[in-house]
Amino acid sequence: DQQVKQNSPSLSVQEGRISILNCDYTNSMFDYFLWYKKYPAEGPTFLISISSIKDKNEDGRFTVFLNKSAKHLSLHIVPSQPGDSAVYFCAASARGNTGKLIFGQGTTLQVKP
């Protein structure tokens, strides 16, 4: 029973264009969502998060959108850069539930020069 799903294993975009990574969840108790970026041979690095009381959070080139009714969130990277090429994990938690993170399987983003 996979509560957090990233249905696209990979995504390829041209440098300078927008990258959109998607994530769906099933547990309505989730109220905090995070995106992590992972380079080969490194651990996941926190990128951006959003609380369920918001529908958008922005940090520089990275914006996360949350659609609670659809149980869907997305990460937008604009403009995409070759250094953004990595695996991106979506994660969700229910506050008050020990902070346990449930991860998606990840999406490998390749940004071509």
Contacts of residue 26, defined as CB under 8 A and 6 or more positions apart, other chains included, come to 2, 3, 4, 5, 71
Task: Pick from 60, 69, 70, 99 the residue near other proteins by CB under 8 A.
Answer: 99
- Residues in region 44-83 near other proteins by CB under 8 A: 44-46, 49
Strands 107-112 and 10-14: parallel
* Bond prior to 9 in cis (omega within 30° of 0): no
- In the complex with other proteins, which residue's Cβ is closer, 65 or 103? 103
Residue 9 binds to other proteins (criterion: CB under 8 A): yes
With CB under 8 A as the contact rule, which of the stretches 20-28, 57-65, 66-74, 99-107 interacts with other proteins? Answer: 99-107
- In the complex with other proteins, which residue's Cβ is closer, 41 or 53? 41
Q: Name the token pair of 4.
A: 């957090």
Residue 106 binds to other proteins (criterion: CB under 8 A): yes
Q: Name the token pair of 11.
A: 């995504």
